[in-house]
Each structure stands twice: as structure tokens, then as C-alpha cells.
Amino acid sequence: MRIPLIAGNWKMNKTITDARAFMQTVSERVPDPAEVETAIAAPAILLASMLAENPGQRLRVAAENCYYEDSGAYTGETSPQALADMGIPYVICGHSERRSYFNETNDVINRKVHAVYRNQMTPILCCDETMGRLEAGEKIHWVVSQVTGALKALPKSKRVSS
């Protein structure tokens, strides 16, 4: 049986001081990882300090985002290779605000998913829907198209299981 994963993210709402305090308060109070795995995702700038305040690793520290290339002249982006080197197990891909504010397409998200797997981490795939699509009854088709687009060309060993 698969262990459930509960994950959340902060977006751009905490400082390093806030992140450290959160980890000191919460990291040992989460459920037993053998029963429920818990993760909190944060911007790259906070990850090292969060890892330092998480000695038992009961609460997994995840990244909110990464780029699809491991290195290069991509100013301001976060390398999936660097995240893996830090020991980050999960990276969130496909945030609704990244889709809308930064025009991330299913193709871009698919490249990120491949980069996350290439670096031996696990993607947490997000899908978005608008109220208009929900009211028009298009939500199932819309979400399925995002999932299939994001997971395109993955080897069978990397496919999602339920």
C-alpha cells in the first residue's frame, strides 16, 4: 500500500527567519512518516535554512519550482541538479499562478517534470482550472489535458501510480 503524501507550499510569503521558526515548531510534530508523509515546499532561497532546522527529517522539505535545465545562463532560475544535491526529494511543477503569470505551458511543465526525474527527485504536479471552465463543465477535459501534457514521453518506470 502506498503511503499518502500531504504537501503544501508557502509561495512568496515567508522570510528565512519565519521559515526557521516554522521548522523548529512543526518539524517534529507531523505524523509518523511510515503512515503519512508530509512535505512543505518553499522558494529556493529558504531551502537550506529549512533543511538545517529539520534534524529528524519527519517533515520533508520540497522546492516550489525549478527550471528544466540543470545548468546554464538562466539568471534567477533554480537548477534541479542543485536541488537534488541539497537532498530535496520533491519539486512542485505546474502551479496555476506560474501558468497564468509566467505563461508556463504544458510543454514547459513537461520539461520540468523530466528534469526533476532526471535528477532523481519526484515531481508534485499541479493543475489549474478557472471558475469559467468549472461552470462550463470543461474541468475534467482541462485537467486531464494538463496531466497528460505534463507527463508526456515519460518512461513506464516514472509513470504515476495511484
Please state which of the ranges 29-33, 91-95, 107-111, 135-139 shows the lowest mean pLDDT: 135-139
Categorize the per-residue pLDDT at 152 as very low, low, confident or very high, splitting at 50, 70 and 90.
Answer: confident
Categorize the per-residue pLDDT at 157 as very low, low, confident or very high, splitting at 50, 70 and 90.
Answer: low
Report yes or no on 162 lying in a domain: no
**CATH number of the domain where residue 81 is located:** 3.20.20.70
User: Residue 28: what pLDDT?
Assistant: 85
Q: For residues 68 and 37, what is the distance between their CA atoms, to the nearest angstrom?
A: 26
Domain count, the chain: 2
Range of the domain at 27: 1-64
For 58-96, write each residue's pLDDT tens digit.
999 999 999 999 999 999 999 999 999 999 999 999 988
Domain co-membership, 37 together with 2: yes
Burial class (CB in 10 A: 0-12, 13-18, 19+), 75: exposed
User: Residue 162: what pLDDT?
Assistant: 40
Domain co-membership, 91 together with 127: yes
Of 32-36, 54-58, 63-67, 145-149, where does the model show the most confidence? 63-67
List, edge to edge, every strand of the sheet that includes 122-125.
Answer: 5-9, 37-42, 59-63, 90-93, 122-125
